[in-house]
Amino acid sequence: MNFDKEFDASGLNCPLPIIKTKKSLTDMESGKVLKVIATDCGAVKDMQAFADQTGNKLLSSTEEGGKYIFFMQKK
């Protein structure tokens, strides 16, 4: 999937992946896509909850070799 910016949250634990995802989105334009990589399994549900509550769109959420990959489209 195409993306405009990447944020690697590997090694970070709750709530840092979410807070830093939000920070990464701050300077992005509406409609742009952020790729987030995380190792915290709690991030899977948190990322969906973040999208639901903020209106940003979680385009996909997958796991690859112990890493969780998210594509988030800015509102």
Partner 1 sequence: MTTKKMAIIATKGTLDMAYPPFILASTAAALGYEVQIFFTFYGLQLLRKDLSGVMISPLANPAMPMPVPMPVMVQMLPGMESMATMMMKQKLKKHGVASLEELRDLCLEADVKFIACQMTVDLFEFDKSEFIDNVEYGGATMFMGFAGDTDVCLFV
Positions marked active-site: 14
Q: Which of 15, 28, 59, 69 binds partner 1 (CB under 8 A)?
A: 15
Give the type of residue at 49: A
Q: Which of 14, 31, 62, 63 binds partner 1 (CB under 8 A)?
A: 14
Alpha-carbon 46 to chain mean position: 9
Size of the site for partner 1 (CB under 8 A): 15
Check: CB of residue 64 under 8 Å from CB of residue 38.
no
Residue 19 is a binding residue for partner 1 (CB under 8 A): yes
Please state, in angstroms and as integers, the Cα–Cα distance from residue 24 to each residue in 35, 64, 66, following that order: 10, 22, 23
Residue 11 is a binding residue for partner 1 (CB under 8 A): yes
At residue 63, φ and ψ (nearest 5 deg) are: -120, 135
Q: Where does this chain bind partner 1 (CB under 8 A)?
A: 11-16, 18-19, 22-23, 39-40, 50, 53-54
